[in-house]
Structure 1
Amino acid sequence: MLEMDPQTCWQGIDVHEPGPEEVFVVSGVFNDGDRDYPAGSFIHAPAGSSHIPQTATGCTLFVFYPEG
């Protein structure tokens, strides 16, 4: 579980290596640097992809790394 306060923005780019990352937005609105994902959204970021995690409103995320 990851809780992000309002106006939080990751420093730098989050690159998914060596494997993918999966995120379920439990509450609030998560932004990956490109688009908003409201509560109930499921995001699959394949290995080698990247994003800049951020939120204007604050959010709670369940983050899962299927390959460990």
Structure 2
Amino acid sequence: MPGYVWSAVRDAPVRELFPGIRQRPLWRGDGGASAQVLEMDPDSRWEGIDVHDPGPEEVFVVSGVFNDGHRDYPAGSFIHAPAGSSHVPQTTTGCTLFVFYPEG
């Protein structure tokens, strides 16, 4: 179909953001919107605070249990973090997340 973009997680380049936390970019659209998979090993933690700027962040927990520094989100959870909000991504079990930034 014209305009469709397809990518496979297994073929996406891997970038280590922090020890035990890997990013796999899947798509980047006009205006900065993007989609990625974030893989977090057990007992990994984001270094510092993740601030959602300039726009919101939307997360779907594919597997494992994700913690934002306040509560646990098991597989199947959806999280919408509005622009300007922040959290400290972490996990004790390990997790895989689908992350979408609709505004960059």
C-alpha deviation, 1:17, in angstroms: 0.3
Aligned-partner Cα distance in 1 for 2:82–2:47: 21
Are positions 1:63 and 2:99 aligned together?
Answer: yes
- The match for 1:21 is 57
Q: Identity over the aligned pairs, expressed in percent?
A: 87
Gaps of 5+ in 2: 1-36
- The match for 2:47 is 11
Given the two structures, how large is their TM-score scaled by the length of structure 2? 0.65
Aligned length: 68
> Which structure exhibits the higher relative contact order, with contacts defined as CA atoms closer than 8 Å and separated by 6 or more residues?
1
Deviating 4+ runs (over 3 angstroms): none
Q: Which has the higher helix share?
A: 2
Given the two structures, how large is their TM-score scaled by the length of structure 1? 0.98
- The match for 1:31 is 67
CA RMSD, Structure 1 to Structure 2 (Å) = 0.4
Gaps of 5+ in 1: none
